[in-house]
Amino acid sequence: MKKLYLLCVCLCWAISVAAASTAENTLIQQVTQAQAAHDWATAESALTKLTAMDPGHWQYNQALGDAEYNQGKYLEAVGSYATALEGAAQDKLKAKTRQAMAAIYTSQGNSYLKLHRMPEAEAAYAKAAALSDNPGLAYFNLCATYYNQGDMPNALTACDKSLAADPKRADAYFIKGSVLMGDATVEAGGKTTYPQGTVEALQAYLKIAPDGSHAADVKQMLDFIGGTPPK
């Protein structure tokens, strides 16, 4: 009788595991379909169930944060990303996990930006840059954040780091050129002198993005300071 009881327990456990696995797979399919359709509310609903079903699966929390972000639920997204990072940190020695964490920190930084919480955004982007194998985007996000705050020295430093990692990031050249233009000095005779690298940064933008969203502005800036567009 004892053996029979143990057999029943094992069978019931196996059935419950199978049922849970089936339910989880069904929810994953719902998430995949909802993401493809940009139906973020449905994706959020299914992911909320998945995170409750398997709290240790940090990728579910990352996806939940994305679904919340895409609905404008930025504060909720910050929390979901934080939970995902806590889970991922347990396995951050793996290169793949570190890159995932860099992406999550970037997304969290974007959420903080939407909430106008600049210090937290800066901190998140800095953590993303420290983890990423290609930190060009994270440093550019820092560059843009500092620039929008009027912190030009830090904006310039972050832009240079972004360009060192990704020399083809046109918008980083645009911000760098804009910052350098703002550092112009007027000599005694009334002549305006621009820092070294100003013209080069603006020309680099046009070389990479001749039809970019800032192309017209850059051409006007070059014309104003006496530079010439690249041929």
CATH number of the domain residue 190 falls in: 1.25.40.10
Among 174, 220, 215, 216, smallest CA distance to 198 is for 174
Residue 185 backbone dihedrals phi, psi, to 5 degrees: -120, 150
Instruction: Could you list the beta-strand ranges (E) of the chain.
Output: 185-186, 192-193
Give pLDDT, residue 66.
96
Q: Please tell me which residue, 91 or 163, carries the higher pLDDT value.
A: 163
Give pLDDT, residue 189.
73
Beta bridge partners of 193: 185
> Greatest CA span in the chain, whole angstroms?
105
62 and 123 belong to one structural domain: yes
Q: Residue 29 falls within a domain, yes or no?
A: no
Q: Which of the listed residues 98, 133, 168 is the one where a domain comes to its end?
A: 133
46 and 123 belong to one structural domain: yes
Q: Residue 206 falls within a domain, yes or no?
A: yes
160: how many CB neighbours lie within 10 A of its CB? 15
Q: Residue 30 falls within a domain, yes or no?
A: no
Q: Residue 164 falls within a domain, yes or no?
A: yes
Q: Residue 125 falls within a domain, yes or no?
A: yes
Give pLDDT, residue 111.
97
Q: Residue 80 falls within a domain, yes or no?
A: yes
46 and 119 belong to one structural domain: yes
- Average pLDDT on 75-79 reads 97
124 and 150 belong to one structural domain: no
Question: pTM for this one?
Answer: 0.77
Residue 178 backbone dihedrals phi, psi, to 5 degrees: -65, -45
Report the domain count for the chain: 2
Q: Residue 3 falls within a domain, yes or no?
A: no
Which tens digits make up the pLDDT trace of 95-150?
899 999 999 999 999 999 999 998 999 999 999 999 998 889 989 999 999 999 89
Beta bridge partners of 185: 193
127 and 149 belong to one structural domain: no
For residue 124, what are the domain limits?
A: 39-133
